[in-house]
Amino acid sequence: MIHDQLSHAAHYARLHPAFPQAFAWLQAFDPQTPDGKYEIAGPDLTAGVQRYTTKPDAEKKWEAHEVYGDIQVLFAGEEICGHTDVRTLTVTEPYKPEKDVAKYAHPSHPTTRLHFRPGTFTVFYPQDGHQPGVMVDQPKEVLKVVIKFKV
């Protein structure tokens, strides 16, 4: 897992062959872009634009992926995103290859709580269980882009 400011993305571009294109797309992103899925470089590098309202911790599921990693960037609003090693989580919804996701129960042990603000990004790999969309103090509208890159 990597958590930093999008303005520092150049430091991470060489960590994966898809990162230069992904970060270039994110830095050129227009917040007026409609919600939806956008191919950046075919099906192995896509961007999902999403607007939603954050929710209480208890209402947000934990998840992890097996084939794709995420680069999650917040462009408006703020949210908390939990993070922990996926091996410490208990499966509640088995892995679905067509969606590349498994869902997990809330962990009983302490986890890392990442505070997403506009301009922050986080890279999650398959070993990273994560819980996006948790409200900070009260529900807020957010604009997030999730880049999916093949690991």
φ and ψ of 123, to 5 deg: -105, 125
What does the pLDDT average to over 136-148?
Answer: 98
pLDDT of residue 108: 86
The pLDDT value given to residue 23: 97
| CATH number (domain holding residue 82) | 2.60.120.370
**Please, is 98 exposed, middle or buried when counting C-beta atoms within 10 Å of its C-beta (0-12, 13-18, 19+)?**
exposed
pLDDT for position 110 = 77
Tally of helices (H runs) and strands (E runs) in the chain: 1, 12
Query: What's the predicted TM-score (pTM) here?
Result: 0.94
Mean pLDDT taken over the chain: 96
pLDDT-derived band at 112, boundaries 50, 70, 90? very high
Identify the H or E element spanning 146: strand 141-150
- Give the residues across from 38 on adjacent strands: 47
Number of independent structural domains in the chain: 1
pLDDT value of position 109: 84
CB 89 within 8 A of CB 129: yes
Q: Structure tokens of 118?
A: 């506009």
The domain in which residue 71 lies consists of 2-150
Averaged pLDDT for residues 131-141 = 97
What gap in Å lies between CA 130 and CA 84, rounded to an integer? 7
Rg (the chain; Cα; Å) = 15
Question: CA 126 to CA 106: how far, in whole Å?
Answer: 18
Q: Per-residue pLDDT tens for 32-63?
A: 999 999 999 999 999 999 999 999 999 999 99
Q: What pLDDT digit, counting tens, does each position of 67-105 carry?
A: 999 999 999 999 999 999 999 999 999 999 999 999 999
Please report, for residues 60, 63, 87, the alpha-carbon distance to residue 122 in angstroms, rounded to integers and kept in the order given.
18, 15, 20
Residue 4 has pLDDT above 80, yes or no: yes
